[in-house]
Amino acid sequence: MTSLTFYGGVQEIGGNKILLEDGERSFFLDFGFAYKTHKLFYEEYLKPRAGAGLLDHIEMGLLPPLEGLYRNDLATENLWSSSGRFRRHPLYRKLEKVDGVLLSHAHLDHSGHIAFLREDIPVFSTAATAFVAKAMQDLGKPDLEQQTCYVSSRVFECPTGLKQTACLSQNSGKKQRQFVISDGPVQALSQEALKFWSLSAGFWEKGPKQKELLSVPLAGLDFSGRGLLCFPVDHSIPGGCAWGIETSSGWVIYSGDLRLHGKRRHLTEAFVEKAASLHPRALLMEGTNISSAGNISEQEVYEKALKAIQGSQSLVIADFSPRDMDRLLTFLQVAKETGRKLAILPKDAYLLKTMRLLDKETPDLAAEDNLVIYQETTADRSPDMWLRNLYQEYDRKVVLAGDVCSSQDSFILCFSFFDLNELPGICPKPGGLYVYSSSEAHSEEQEIDFRRMRNWLERFKMRSVGLPIETDGRLQIPENERGLHASGHAYGPDLLKIVREIGPELLIPIHSESPDLYVEKLRTTPIKVVLPAPGGSINI
């Protein structure tokens, strides 16, 4: 018998933590950051205590109480004691062995809690997902929750002069997790790519001051006899995939996040065809946009953005997700056709260079005339090594606030709300344009950010297109300004089309706030829909 236990991703978008057990084998389907639960208790200046190890995350429901699953260096002495509170938790159990995490993609709501897992638990993913995850960790803060690809060990001891024991970082180097590349042979990766994987953050060449990680080489997945299949799909981040697991009850398919309206829809279509040929017993299917009747294609985004920017005579700012490479390429094309340069931030440039290690069709920052790097104002006397290296390597591509200020009609700046504090140095001329090409607000905090964004634009007399405005107490994009964002998720009719074509005996909706719509829409089909409960199990 095969069982699925849902520790996250139920009645919420993201936070997927689904344990599949079949005989002696067990895999987690993603191990993501639970944004919905996190926002119930925490915000920017109130976070789980870094010195408490696992305690706060388990106590507040961010991690399930599964003894044996997590890093030993994060467990306090009495965390799993027989008299401890977590042993009495209704979801408590001891996991003797987990064969790995089947990671669908590198968005944090799917990968963000891998940081807490034991280092010897392998992560199965596509090459692009592994490299994007490493780039994100390289660029992030050295926080505990960022340690997806490599780990800084910790020790519980009393800081000097204090009585309270705390979980403290050790200066014992960084050890990599075992990533298993599942969409092709590791031997196909270039030496430059393998070198990037093995060197610590910010280093592309080993030098006198550059340290290698305590490296665990990338492994390749031998599918023979493993009963695992990795299906590349189209999503809004490179490397997305779905998974097939052959179990004693039949094939179980896990969709991850996908769409049929992106530039690589053929990947999703190929997945659907192959998954259908397996005649799966069960399909775990995302439903982010199950209630949405229509979506926007990337081609439509391009056409709408081009039309808006062609008429602008001053500075243009484009706001979109930093890891959406398709959107970056869309605005690069717009920049070429409007005679502008696309000014990306250093983190975008680092990710772009990382992706070029795997795909030579990715634009070469050094050779692409319409791409430049905007150098942010900093007060750091010694900026991060990766940043210094990047500025040194691409010195002739770096532009400053003064460069943009003096030639405002020559640039499209890739800024988000959190980069608007650069505007006093740029001093935009009245009539500039802010193109909002990202998702609408999903939380009260985001709604507040939108209102602040409006204040910034009014301060500098900039116009906007695609930005939500307040109407009848609600923030929504004006009807005539829609079409500047293509979602990474399939919309309702496409989701139902995918499910019908795969034709599972059992459908289990996940990653959705409206999973009951699957029950309603599939009522007349032979597909049985079972809604999981948070923390509950389904036996197949």
Note whether 343 and 392 are same-domain residues: yes
| 51 and 130 fall within a common domain | yes
Q: Reduce the DSSP state of residue 157 to 3 states and report it.
A: strand
For the four alpha carbons of 332, 338, 339 and 340, in that order, the dihedral sign comes to negative
Mean pLDDT lowest for which of 202-216, 414-428, 509-523?
202-216
What is the rounded distance in angstroms from the CA atom of residue 226 to the CA atom of residue 228?
Answer: 5
> Is-above-0.85 flag for pTM?
yes
CA atoms in the 13 A half-sphere facing the CB of 459: 11
Q: Do 136 and 22 share a domain, yes or no? A: yes
Q: Do 320 and 258 have their domain in common?
A: no
212: pLDDT strictly greater than 60: no
Residue by residue, DSSP assigns 389-407 as HHHHHTGGGEE-HHHHHHT
pLDDT, one tens digit per residue, over 334-391 is: 999 999 999 999 999 999 999 999 999 999 999 999 999 999 998 677 678 888 889 9
pLDDT at 208 exceeding the cut of 50: no
Residues 151-172 pLDDT 10s: 988 998 898 888 888 888 887 7
pLDDT at 280: 98
Tokens in use for 214? 């305590």
**Same domain (yes/no): 210, 231:** yes
Please state, as a whole number, how many other Cβ atoms lie within 10 Å of the Cβ of residue 236: 24
What mean pLDDT is predicted for residues 26-34? 97
Cα 257 from chain centroid? 11
CA pair distance 403, 385, nearest whole angstrom: 24
Q: Say yes or no: 258 and 324 in one domain.
A: no
Shared-domain flag, residues 496 and 443: no
Q: What is the pLDDT of residue 214?
A: 61
What is the rounded distance in angstroms from the CA atom of residue 531 to the CA atom of residue 538? 9
Nearest alpha-carbon partner for 293 in 498, 512, 466, 494: 494
Alpha-carbon span 373 to 386, nearest angstrom: 14
Beta strand segments in 235-276, E: 241-247, 250-254
Residue type, 110: H
Instruction: Assess whether 266 and 373 both reside in one domain.
Output: no
Domain check: are 80 and 58 in the same one?
Answer: yes
The count of residues in the chain is 540
| pLDDT of amino acid 205 | 52
How far is residue 171's CA from residue 383's CA, in Å, rounded to a whole number? 20
> Has residue 215 got a pLDDT over 70?
no
CA pair distance 419, 401, nearest whole angstrom: 12
pLDDT at residue 258 tops 70? yes
pLDDT of residue 346: 95
Q: Where are the alpha helices (DSSP H) in 311-376?
A: 325-337, 346-356
* Cα-only R_g, the chain: 24
Q: Determine the structural domain holding residue 471 and report its residue range.
A: 298-481
Whether residue 198 sits in one domain with residue 120 = yes
- The CATH number that applies at residue 354 is 3.40.50.10710
Which of 433, 453, 481 is at the close of a domain? Answer: 481
Predicted pLDDT of residue 379: 67
pLDDT (average), residues 499-511 = 98
Residues 421 and 511 in one domain: no
| Cα–Cα distance measured from residue 359 to residue 132, given in angstroms and rounded to the nearest whole number | 13
245 strand-pairing partners: 228, 252
Question: In angstroms, rounded to a whole number, what is the distance separating the alpha carbons of residues 254 and 242?
Answer: 6
Over 90: is that where the pLDDT of 314 sits? Answer: yes
Give the burial class of 494: count Cβ atoms within 10 A of its Cβ; 0-12 exposed, 13-18 middle, 19 or more buried: buried
116-128: average pLDDT: 95
**Domain containing 187 — which CATH number?**
3.60.15.10
**What pLDDT sits at residue 479?**
80
Domains in the chain, number: 2
Is pLDDT above 60 for 465? yes
**Contacts of 417 by beta carbon, 8 Å cutoff, 6+ apart:** 319, 449, 452, 453
Question: Are residues 210 and 155 in contact, defined by beta-carbon separation less than 8 angstroms?
Answer: no
Average pLDDT, the chain: 91
Residue with token string 């602008």:
312
Task: Clarify whether residues 527 and 428 are in a common domain.
Answer: no
Cross-strand partners of 175 = 151, 214
379 phi, psi to nearest 5 deg: -105, 5
pLDDT at 171: 76
According to DSSP, the residues that pair with 505 across neighbouring strands are none
